[in-house]
Structure 1
């Protein structure tokens, strides 16, 4: 490809040499264009199709190539995955993003940040698709589209709507933990290099003895945490809408390679059954006092994409992509993403998205999937497209069968997650109490900026949730929107009397 780009001769997409790329074919000097102007129609038809549909969420992103180096001396006691052999260096591709905004939105918006990693391992791609927060707003994927609709645009006004956001959150108290993070200083990071990343979900590892361990992944920035205040973030929108993109690109360009310490929390399978917190609930963290983090390696970003569309826009991350020695968990949100992500990629960039260079495994791979739009390569040539066959096609290897997991004798049904776990307040309350007084004040002010715009009945619901987390939390938000906490709490008590 590099040699082709240096060629002096311009051609059509089919290789026909182009003699004039400056003038359309017309009837005389001033006459109309004729249909036989193949070059004009090829260029315009391609131009009309240059943009694939933007991602429904995580539409605006930045990315870079890098390397993950495993430093842990004995990961073999947890997993057979070769990526975790000590000293092993694995090529990676990390895409950062905002979540709710469109492609043209500002990098400094108050929003979670996507943290999606593709590891090109010797045993196939491993995609770890997380955020810069260890929790999320909901814990059941059935509510995902409802939640995202509240973060997009009002169907009547086509404007972002604090009313939709706070109405949903006030009726979904499991969101409190993530809401507290979002409206704290961490909701407006100063660029992608200065924030942590998390796998967020609970995953699993399996060792050679077939023992299973549940795990959570953490990526701690070595550049130091830096956040904007609300005022600084708003100002940055007028200075540089692409602040995070620019900061990441130019830092790598000048050789200042960002790094993260990679850590892991590990829970033996048996302990998950009796742990006092549901370890598969995406709205909760595992307290470090119970499951301390262990350092497993370092992630470094050291190469910028050469072509943004080919590498960043067409990058597709699938949580279903794990290497041997890895697995999933009963995390409902993870289970939903295993289906929704590849489905979104097939819609957005086509059924053969895994064959695009940025998504293609770096190790040998063999599949019977054939045909479909934009099929790359030889499409399997004259080999069989079915299995089993007697013509030497790829065959299964039973040593890679997934480890069976037993879930007691549970009955299949729709279980009310709010009935079975109504503790929405302990962890966000603990988080609030960890903040300094000035950080608490900024949190309350950031919340008030949006909550103050909605009707009082929604304010009452939401402030009562904050009050149950910590009385100072509720009082601070009430004061910031010019309300008296006594009136709000009393009103809630009268409703439930």
Structure 2
């Protein structure tokens, strides 16, 4: 029988052989289809969207209810109280009472500026030693990692506004160091709007809604920008593309201020912080941003959450520009003018580390909305900046957080300096109070072993400077002529003309005059775009 199978007649048995081969082929194809289906399903599981599928992912990662429903006081809630209040005494239902009082108290005041934003968590890793200029503990050793929280935001919009508004952007970093928290409340531009603290209110009010109409008013905005012309420097950069980042992962950050730092010998140096995205700086055109806004007003927020959720962790190279006392004597106090940049050709970047974000917030309100930055959060070795704007921001940010979050806002978990043990003489107040310093003495000085200040061996104090009115038209001209690409200049003109289009004629003329003073080509192109007959560019 076996011999017959081996010696089958290719002619007589053609049909049988074909049938057997076809059946074998079909079986192999069936098995292959099953394997492909299993592979596709597995890939689909691996590639689930962390944004769209967040609640489904939570379900898949848990077995049944995660616990027994309780009241705020921790008592278990019976099924009948959680599902029905009809024909019952409402005041006797503690679950219902918890729901009612919590719902009407869910909201806290939103930030006056930088209200719309998002954030994430990760670490800063030292790659280069700069202990010769700064003794801060978190910078002292190559390879050392420090936990960080970072918040990205628009500047002007409210909490419900679009991510894709043409706007200045916040880039704030909190370093949880072993010597306390160090905060950099930075921007996505290397310069700020003004150096005169009195300008803080008019700049914010003019960029917000008209008090009568409650509508954004370009006349208010351009009236203020042309009356405080130092704001034009940052405006040119923002309107050339920096105001519409392609993603927060591609957005740079800058500390704005020139910080005074010191080494262990108390010798001072001066530094500006730069955070440059390793994925490159990328921006959107205004047309693309407008199209995306209609469909995805939370575009940047989703992109960041999705990338981190998929394991695509964004990173930035952190560098500083370093100046000495002799540099300051030579260049003058303009190096502390935040409306100006410190030229990279004269003072190149010195890399100090990498910033990596690898964790999304587990709860947005708890970890991002309550995340509170204060320029006054400094650590030994970093003294802050001697300019009045820095002092004003220390006051303003502190007051904002006290108003929004209460007197104990630094005890909220996301704001706690958890890398060190906190000892203060501050007590009580609106929760959270933590352990309220337990049973230690509550006054200083005392004779009963309460916490005592440390004695710095060698240290410097912030230098005193004499500041001048901001002037940056020279740098604005340099930006327009030599730093912007042809495409960026085109984007700049387009956005300026669009923004100035509905503005009243005398404000258009005033803006064109300023643009022409900065650079004739800039003034000419804006005037031409507005079909203006004003010919300041001839003068």
Q: TM-score, normalized by length of structure 2?
A: 0.84
Query: Secondary structure in 2 aligned to 1:464?
Result: helix
Give how far 1:393 is off.
1.1
Alignment counterpart, residue 345 of structure 2, candidates 289, 297, 311: 289
* Contact 2:266/2:459 (<8 A) preserved: no
Alignment counterpart, residue 359 of structure 1, candidates 398, 412, 415: 415
Alpha-carbon distance in 1 for matches of 2:85, 2:151: 44
Alpha-carbon distance in 1 for matches of 2:240, 2:265: 44
Aligned pair 1:68/2:100, yes or no?
no
1:450 alignment partner in structure 2: 499
Give how far 1:105 is off.
0.8
Alpha-carbon distance in 2 for matches of 1:137, 1:235: 28
Gaps of 5+ in 2: 1-61
Give how far 1:299 is off.
0.7
Work out the number of aligned pairs and report it.
474
* Contact 1:113/1:131 (<8 A) preserved: yes
Give how far 1:481 is off.
1.1
Residues 405, 92 of structure 1: alpha-carbon distance in 2 compared, 3 angstrom cutoff: closer
Aligned pair 1:479/2:535, yes or no?
no
Query: Secondary structure in 2 aligned to 1:399?
Result: coil
1:84 alignment partner in structure 2: 139
Write 1 or 2 for the structure with the bigger share of helix: 2
Alpha-carbon distance in 1 for matches of 2:353, 2:245: 24
Give how far 1:84 is off.
0.9
Gaps of 5+ in 1: none
Alpha-carbon distance in 1 for matches of 2:308, 2:184: 22
2:22 alignment partner in structure 1: none
Give how far 1:277 is off.
6.2
Alignment counterpart, residue 18 of structure 1, candidates 51, 69, 77: 77
Aligned pair 1:321/2:381, yes or no?
no
1:428 alignment partner in structure 2: 476
Alignment counterpart, residue 295 of structure 2, candidates 239, 242, 246: 239
RMSD: 2.1
* Contact 1:24/1:37 (<8 A) preserved: no
Q: TM-score, normalized by length of structure 1?
A: 0.91
Deviation by residue 1:316-342 (Cα, 9 ceiling, x = unmatched): 111111111111122221111111111
1:97-496 pair list within 5 angstroms = 97-275=153-331, 278-362=334-418, 363-399=420-456, 403-407=460-464, 417-418=468-469, 423-434=471-482, 435-486=484-535, 488=536
Residues 400, 259 of structure 1: alpha-carbon distance in 2 compared, 3 angstrom cutoff: farther
Alpha-carbon distance in 1 for matches of 2:136, 2:232: 36
* Contact 1:24/1:40 (<8 A) preserved: no
Alpha-carbon distance in 2 for matches of 1:406, 1:189: 36
Give how far 1:99 is off.
0.8
Alpha-carbon distance in 1 for matches of 2:287, 2:181: 41
Alpha-carbon distance in 1 for matches of 2:395, 2:410: 15
Give how far 1:459 is off.
0.9
* Contact 1:474/1:485 (<8 A) preserved: no
Alpha-carbon distance in 2 for matches of 1:375, 1:402: 35
